[in-house]
Structure 1
Amino acid sequence: MAFYRRKYIAWISVMGSAILFLAAILAAVIANSSFGPAYWEFMSSEVHLQIGRFNLFSHGTHCLTVHELINDGLMTIFFFCVGLEIKRELLVGELSSFRKAILPFIAACGGMVFPVLIYILICPPSMPGGEGVAIPMATDIAFSLGVLSLLGSRVPLSLKIFLTAFAVVDDIGGILIIAIFYSSQVHVSYLLWALLIFVVLYFIAKRGPTAKTFIVIGGVAIWYLFLQSGIHSTISGVLLAFVISAKPQLNVGKYIERIRRLINSFPAMESESIVLTNQQIAKLKRVESASDKVISPLQSMEDNLHNTVNYIILPLFAFANAGIVFNTQSGAVVGDVTYAIGLGLVIGKFLGIFLFTWAAIKFGVTKMPPGMNWNNVAGVALLGGIGFTVSLFISNLSFGADAVLLNQAKMGVLGGSLIAGILGFIVLNKTLPPKDSLN
Structure 2
Amino acid sequence: MTQSQTKRPFSTLRHWLDSESASGIVLMITAALALIVANSPLSATYFQVLESKLGPMSVLHWINDALMAVFFLLVGLEIKREFLDGQLASWSNRALPGIAAAGGVIVPALVFAGFNWSNPETIRGWAIPSATDIAFALGVLSLLGPRVPTSLKVFLATLAILDDLAAVAIIAVFYTADIATLYLAGAAGIFALMFILNKMGIMRLTPYLILGAVLWYFVLRSGVHATVAGVLTALTIPIKPALGRPDDMSSPLHTLEHALAKWVGFVIVPIFGFANAGVSFAGMSPSILGDSLTLGIALGLFVGKQFGVFGAAWIAIRAGIATKPMGASWTQLYGVALLCGIGFTMSLFIGLLSFDNDLLHSETKIGVLLGSLLSAVCGWALLRISTRNRAVK
TM-score, shorter chain, exceeding 0.5: yes
Distance in 2 separating the partners of 1:5 and 1:217:
28
Read off the aligned partner of 2:266 and give its amino acid letter: Y
Provide, for residues 299-320 of structure 1, a one-character-per-residue CA deviation record: whole Å limited to 9, x for no partner.
1111100011011100110111
Equivalent residue number for residue 316 of structure 1 = 271
Indicate how the Cα distance of structure 1 residues 115 and 149 shifts in structure 2: closer, same or farther if over 3 A, else same: same
Read off the aligned partner of 1:40 and give its amino acid letter: F
Of 149-158 and 379-388, more deviation after overlay is shown by: 149-158
Distance in 1 separating the partners of 2:137 and 2:252:
27
Aligned residues: 383
Helix, strand or coil: the match of 1:371?
A: coil
Q: Offset of 1:70 from its aligned partner?
A: 0.5
Say whether the 8 Å CA contact 1:383–1:420 is kept in structure 2: yes
Equivalent residue number for residue 299 of structure 1 = 254
* Matches for 1:7-86 after TM superposition, within 5 Å: 11-48=18-55, 63-86=56-79
- Runs of 5+ in structure 2 lacking a partner? none
Given candidates 198, 204, 207, the residue that maps to 2:202 is 207
* Matches for 1:405-424 after TM superposition, within 5 Å: 405-424=360-379
Say whether the 8 Å CA contact 2:249–2:255 is kept in structure 1: no
Q: Offset of 1:37 from its aligned partner?
A: 1.7
Of 354-363 and 8-17, more deviation after overlay is shown by: 8-17
Indicate how the Cα distance of structure 1 residues 367 and 43 shifts in structure 2: closer, same or farther if over 3 A, else same: same
* Matches for 1:190-201 after TM superposition, within 5 Å: 190-201=183-194
Read off the aligned partner of 1:296 and give its amino acid letter: S
* Matches for 1:27-426 after TM superposition, within 5 Å: 27-48=34-55, 63-204=56-197, 206-208=201-203, 211-250=204-243, 295-328=250-283, 333-334=288-289, 335-399=291-355, 401-426=356-381
User: Which structure has the greater CA radius of gyration?
Assistant: 1
Distance in 1 separating the partners of 2:98 and 2:12:
28
Helix, strand or coil: the match of 2:333?
A: helix
Q: Identity percentage over the alignment? A: 41
Provide, for residues 334-382 of structure 1, a one-character-per-residue CA deviation record: whole Å limited to 9, x for no partner.
3221111111111110001111111112122222232232111101100
Provide, for residues 82-122 of structure 1, a one-character-per-residue CA deviation record: whole Å limited to 9, x for no partner.
00111111112222222211211111111111111111111
Read off the aligned partner of 1:173 and give its amino acid letter: A
Distance in 1 separating the partners of 2:108 and 2:257:
31
Distance in 1 separating the partners of 2:333 and 2:249:
37
Distance in 1 separating the partners of 2:86 and 2:125:
32
Indicate how the Cα distance of structure 1 residues 236 and 17 shifts in structure 2: closer, same or farther if over 3 A, else same: same
Indicate how the Cα distance of structure 1 residues 124 and 297 shifts in structure 2: closer, same or farther if over 3 A, else same: same
Helix, strand or coil: the match of 1:242?
A: helix
Indicate how the Cα distance of structure 1 residues 68 and 368 shifts in structure 2: closer, same or farther if over 3 A, else same: same
Indicate how the Cα distance of structure 1 residues 7 and 301 shifts in structure 2: closer, same or farther if over 3 A, else same: closer
Distance in 1 separating the partners of 2:382 and 2:188:
48
Distance in 2 separating the partners of 1:76 and 1:28:
24
Read off the aligned partner of 2:216 and give its amino acid letter: W
Say whether the 8 Å CA contact 1:252–1:294 is kept in structure 2: no
- Runs of 5+ in structure 1 lacking a partner? 49-62, 254-292
Say whether the 8 Å CA contact 1:76–1:237 is kept in structure 2: yes
Distance in 2 separating the partners of 1:432 and 1:91:
34
User: What is the root-mean-square deviation in Å for CA atoms of aligned residues?
Assistant: 2.5
Say whether the 8 Å CA contact 2:344–2:368 is kept in structure 1: yes
Distance in 1 separating the partners of 2:118 and 2:266:
37
Say whether the 8 Å CA contact 1:249–1:294 is kept in structure 2: no
Read off the aligned partner of 1:64 and give its amino acid letter: M
Distance in 1 separating the partners of 2:174 and 2:192:
26
Say whether the 8 Å CA contact 1:251–1:294 is kept in structure 2: no
Provide, for residues 114-144 of structure 1, a one-character-per-residue CA deviation record: whole Å limited to 9, x for no partner.
1111111112153542221110000011111
Helix, strand or coil: the match of 2:236?
A: coil
Read off the aligned partner of 2:296 and give its amino acid letter: A
